[in-house]
Amino acid sequence: MFTNQTEPVEDLCPKCRTNRPYTLRKKEIQKKINGKNFHFQISAAYCSVCGAEMSPPGLIDYNIKEVEGQYQLMTTDPFS
């Protein structure tokens, strides 16, 4: 649902305390896996009205897929 978003979507904004449209932007996070630091770009949803970060349903699952995909790319050795 987050990859081919065409219609404006709304969810509860924690600051406005009402449903607001949100926009998705990439943000960088750092994760330590097996003692190594990795940087990942994940999607974050921001309220279009006040800019607060929101957590619409499905976003966490989508973030996990993003991290897994990027981790696989980073750890795949092209010369093996």
- For binding to Zn ion (CB under 5 A), which residues are involved? 13, 15-16, 20, 47, 49-50, 52
Q: Least Å distance between CB 45 and Zn ion?
A: 11
DSSP 69: H
Considering the complex, state which of residue 13 and residue 59 has its C-beta at the smaller distance from Zn ion: 13
Q: Least Å distance between CB 55 and Zn ion?
A: 13
Q: Least Å distance between CB 19 and Zn ion?
A: 10
The Cα 19–Cα 61 span in angstroms is 21
Considering the complex, state which of residue 9 and residue 52 has its C-beta at the smaller distance from Zn ion: 52
What does the block give as tokens for 26?
Answer: 């990439």
The Cα 58–Cα 40 span in angstroms is 18
Angle at the Cα of 59 (from 45 to 44), degrees rounded to 5? 25
Considering the complex, state which of residue 47 and residue 59 has its C-beta at the smaller distance from Zn ion: 47
